[in-house]
Amino acid sequence: MAKNDKDIISHHTFMFPFTIEEDEFDLKKTVKILEKNKWEYIPFDVEGEQKDKNKIFNYNEFVYFYPAVQKLLYNQKDKIDKLDLSVYLINKQIKENAKYIIKILNEKEYELEISGVAIRIFKTGVGILLFHLENYKYEERTDILKINDFGRRIYPQFIPVESAKANFLAKELEIENIISEDFYNYLNGKNIRISKTIRKLIGDELSNKIKPLIDDRMFTICWYGNDEFSEVLKKYNNSSKEYNYFSNEDWAKFLFIDGNFNSLKSKNMIKEYLKKYSYDRWIEEGTLFGISRYSFVVATNERWFPKNILLSHIKTMYYQIMIIVLMQRATILKFKNKISKVMKEENIESIRRLQKEYLEFLNLMNFREVTAQEQGIEIYNMVRDIMGINDAVRELEKEIYELYNYYSMLESEKRLKQDRKLQLRLNIITILGGAIGIASLINSIIGMDRFKDILDINNKYELFIKGGFFVIIPFIITILILYNLVYESKKNKENIINKIAKKFQNEKWSLTSIIILFILYYIFIIA
């Protein structure tokens, strides 16, 4: 049925979390790239007339969160600021009432209305692309399951592609009159990791830098209003003291986004997993939440409250909670990749920068709580637990701490080694200075008569022998030694001073030099 003929049946948000692989990520530069591809930054507007339904939702969403979370999510300035932690943009290519079309092999196709396509980029180099879709036509549970499973795929999980299309890959995904993806590029040997429905929207320049967080699937948010399904799930068995959803296979398929078949084939596992991943605070009212690493789903009834209040909460508060946790998960993975790079660099300054970025993440983005509202606290904690955020943060903190300590130790050893070299040079200079000082002292006592004696020699042969031996030969030896050092330093492209210092660091060479120096001075003085 058309939108005007019936109320909404289901709401779907496909979320594509990714990391931008750059050594030095620049938020403003990335926004400029997106703006060239028809993305537009729009400030978040909290104020406005109470008659404006969107403004009411904006206000309710804004005050729901703590101030620190507001600072992360809601840019209210007209222009992007360098202090912004994230930026939210909408796509201007997507016109009103545009369709997201899912074509399935040998089955019918699904047309969903696009209520918006947006992207949020975080300061940490993490982004989340968002497709907001509305279903006003398809009521059956099997239809909802297929919309979720086939609509979220971004590339084939395996090849040949036809086999994937027979199971969970759409025959074709299309954003009406803008982009179409049939996934056949993979048959042509092209190693393309992301669907054209994503690449064409964000542009080639950014597409070439991004890495998906969740393999071949997008994270899925789904609200589904169906009285029959709601009644089945909330039915309570007095004998087993359990709700029906504990063992309901349709609920398992809905929660874990299984389209054509149930991926849980063990009754024991179904029961265990459905207890763990279901949130049933409102089950008696016919509303059941489900959370997994790939999904946040709500099965409810068709009454006024679920359609008008609960659905708006799914689209705003709970949707933002999923964004926060996906950002945290992606940022942690990005930090782990950075640790690997820093280890190769072996640079203490790189580790300090990494530590600084990590502390900023902990203080500004890794919240223990995001709201004072009880249900929001419970859902946020549950999502973080299922995503393994707390454990991952502790592990990351340990890795960074150990890495810093290790390289600090290496840096200390390096400085100690340099200090020893410097001390050795100072010792050598002290010894040589002492030797020259002693020789000078002796020379001053004896006087300069020896020079006069040499100069006063009348016999040319004796003058040649004494003058050559005591003056010319030491001079020639000195010149040869210096020439050798200069030649070696040029050959090895090394500073002459460093070359001399290295020679003197050799204890045998230094000792020999000092002995020769003493002998020459001694002979020269007493000869």
DSSP letter assigned to residue 247: G
Alpha-carbon distance of 238 to 376, in angstroms, equals 30
Is 319 part of a structural domain of the chain? no
Confidence (pLDDT) at 446 = 47
The residue type found at 364 is: L
CA atoms within 13 A on the CB side of 293: 11
Confidence (pLDDT) at 81 = 85
Residues 217 and 244 in one domain: no
Confidence (pLDDT) at 404 = 75
Q: Which residue has the tokens 């920068």?
A: 353
Residues 140 and 163 in one domain: yes
Residues 201 and 294 in one domain: no
Query: What does each C-alpha distance from 303 to 7, 9, 319 come to in angstroms?
Result: 11, 11, 21
CB 16 within 8 A of CB 126: no
Domain range enclosing 264 = 227-301
How many residues make up the chain in this entry?
527
Confidence (pLDDT) at 280 = 97
Alpha-carbon distance of 495 to 89, in angstroms, equals 56
Residues 192 and 236 in one domain: no
The contacts of residue 450 (CB under 8 Å, 6+ apart) are: 524, 525, 526, 527
Residues 217 and 271 in one domain: no
Kind plus residue range of the DSSP H or E element containing 100: strand 99-103
Among the three residues 172, 194, 221, which one is the final residue of a domain in this structure?
A: 221
Among the three residues 301, 325, 360, which one is the final residue of a domain in this structure?
A: 301
Residues 216 and 238 in one domain: no
CB 488 within 8 A of CB 499: yes
Among the three residues 221, 250, 269, which one is the final residue of a domain in this structure?
A: 221
Q: How many domains does the chain contain in total? A: 3
Confidence (pLDDT) at 4 = 46
Residues 191 and 211 in one domain: yes
Residues 130 and 242 in one domain: no
Helix (H, G, I), strand (E, B) or coil at 196: helix
Per-residue pLDDT of the chain (527 residues; tens, 9 = 90+): 444 456 899 999 999 999 998 878 999 999 999 999 999 998 898 765 444 555 567 889 999 999 999 999 999 888 888 889 999 999 999 988 899 999 998 888 999 999 999 999 999 999 999 999 999 999 999 999 999 999 998 877 755 555 555 566 788 899 988 998 887 776 555 555 788 899 999 999 999 899 998 888 899 999 999 999 999 999 999 998 999 999 999 999 999 999 777 778 888 889 999 999 999 999 999 999 999 999 999 999 999 999 999 999 999 999 999 999 999 999 999 999 888 888 777 777 788 888 899 999 999 999 999 999 999 999 999 999 999 999 999 999 888 888 877 777 666 667 667 666 666 665 555 655 555 555 555 455 444 555 455 555 555 555 555 555 555 555 565 555 555 555 555 555 555 445 555 554 554 455 555 555 555 555 554 44
CB 230 within 8 A of CB 299: yes
Is 382 part of a structural domain of the chain? no
Residues 122 and 237 in one domain: no
Is 326 part of a structural domain of the chain? no
Residues 160 and 235 in one domain: no
Is 97 part of a structural domain of the chain? yes
Is 320 part of a structural domain of the chain? no
Is 396 part of a structural domain of the chain? no
Is 499 part of a structural domain of the chain? yes
Is 169 part of a structural domain of the chain? yes
Task: Say what angle helices 460-467 and 449-456 make with each other, to 10 degrees.
Answer: 140
Residues 214 and 231 in one domain: no
DSSP letter assigned to residue 349: H
Token couple for 232: 């089945």
The model's pTM: 0.78
Residues 206 and 238 in one domain: no
CB 203 within 8 A of CB 37: yes
Per-residue three-class SS string for 35-58: HHCCEEECCCCCCCCCCCHHHHHH
